[in-house]
Amino acid sequence: MNRQQEFVLRAVEEREIRFIRLWFTDILGYLKSVMMSPSELEGAFEEGVGFDGSSIEGLSRISESDTIALPDPSTFQILPFDTDHPELQTARMFCDITMPDGQPSWSDPRQILRRQVKLAADEGFTCMISPEIEFYLFQPGADPGSIEPTDNGGYFDQASHNIAPRFRREAMTALDAMGIVTEFSHHETAPGQQEIDLRHADALTMADNIMTFRYLIKQVAAANGVRATFMPKPFTEHAGSAMHSHISLFEGDTNAFHDPDDEISLSKTAKHFIAGILHRAPEISAVTNQWPNSYKRIVFGNEAPTAATWGVSNRSALVRVPTYRLTKADSRRVEVRSPDSATNPYLAFSVLLAAGLEGIREEHELRDPAEDDISRLTRRERMAMGYKDLPASLDQSLRILEKSDFVADILGEHVYEYFLRSKWNEWHNYQEQITPWELRSNLDY
């Protein structure tokens, strides 16, 4: 038993933890959990917890259903909601999913990201990520089945008529209690829309943090009598919710993206990284934007990227290079603006990191930055300027993904095939729906 495992066992005893939740995700990014008593924890560290992997979406075939959840002691945290009820005090740990012989299960999104992190480390890089996570708070609307935002605020507003006025403070307190460091929190552009920015962490830790973030936000919202959603675009008339991800690569303590002699302090490594993401952007869109609703945000949203472009401070570009603190080496980064808040962070970070590393490895050249508002250009104007359009629907994304050996290699054969099969089913179910718009437009024909 290693020191981290011993620390967890000691903390559980000293803090009188009554329940342990073991967390992992399925391929689509839904959080899964199994509860255990502390008396079983030492055995779980040694042997893991067996479960039926074939009952989890896409995790394993029925002929290979015996699967092991192995707790990662470095992710041990006490959940903040039961402090007033010691008899319910609960902690959680993320798990790595393995096969009975101890080999990693490459159907586990966490293992897929771990593999990309290792490949980056083999090339001397540590990937650091800081996301800006947008989401909505809503309440039931006046009409059955409708929803309404909890306030009428706008960007950076101090909403005075907010149904959940203490929400962001309580959310940041809960995140801090779980060891997740926040940088900023503010009201976003649309009524009911919030944003909380997380302090940078390595890619795997950040993916864990995002899954914890979603869980905590929903719990805090419920405690305030409202609901939270990470749906990319829940309101027709309002902006969608993105997860703009600030990425940098470090070589030891040195930021490989910083070059003090460059006009915008951006190194050749960073430019190759950006070029790699732009090159693979259409192929990875189905992963960074995995729902039919994701493309409502991209096509009809504000400041959402419609083409594979980059820009300096240009919020309509797919990759933006912030110009804050140009001389501060540690803060030099690139901002990828395509992922939405409903992505599976393990898979999204895997494809982004892999695309960027390929760009560095193959020294992809970066074209001049876009200076236009890309979202206001017509398709013909974008083509004339040499911009490559991003897919405008999940249907288009999946057609491109089907031809991508690049993404198939990142995800592995099983996850790649399951993801395609699952998403095609979802798209076909979406297409089958008869919408109110169709009834209004065609019923009297």
Q: Between residues 322 and 62, which one has the greater pLDDT?
A: 322
Please name every residue paired with 97 in a beta bridge, in sequence order, or none if there are none: 69
DSSP structural state of residue 257 = T
Q: Between residues 145 and 348, which one has the greater pLDDT?
A: 348
pTM of the model: 0.94
User: Quick one: pLDDT at residue 57?
Assistant: 62
What's the pLDDT tens digit per position in 251-309? 999 999 999 999 999 999 999 999 999 999 999 999 999 999 999 999 886 788 999 99
The token pair at 319 is: 């990759």
Instruction: Tell me which residue of 165, 161, 167, 151 sits closest to 220, measured CA to CA.
Output: 167
**Domains of the chain in sequence order:** 3-105 (3.10.20.70), 115-439 (3.30.590.10)
Euclidean distance between the first and final Cα of the chain, in Å?
73
The token pair at 310 is: 């980059």
pLDDT confidence of 161, banded at 50, 70, 90? Answer: low
Concatenated DSSP letters for 141-206?
A: -SSTT-EEES----TT---SS-SSTTHHHHHHHHHHHTT--EEEEEE-SSTTEEEEEEPPEEHHHH
What's the pLDDT tens digit per position in 180-195? 999 988 888 899 999 9
- Rounded-to-10 torsion of CA 313, 315, 320, 323: 20
Q: How far is CA 404 from CA 59, 323, 336, in A?
A: 21, 34, 21
Q: What residues contact 368, with CB distance under 8 A and at least 6 apart?
A: none
β-pairing verdict for 77-78 and 49-52: unpaired
Whether the pLDDT of residue 143 is over 90: the answer is: no
What's the pLDDT tens digit per position in 57-110? 655 554 345 689 999 999 999 999 876 677 889 999 999 999 888 888 888 999
Instruction: Tell me which residue of 39, 103, 37 sits closest to 70, measured CA to CA.
Output: 103
What's the pLDDT tens digit per position in 106-128? 889 999 999 999 999 999 999 99
The CB density around residue 96, as the number of other CB atoms within 10 Å, is 18
The CB density around residue 352, as the number of other CB atoms within 10 Å, is 27
pLDDT confidence of 17, banded at 50, 70, 90? Answer: very high
Mean pLDDT of the chain: 91
Calpha distance 83→303 (Å, rounded): 41
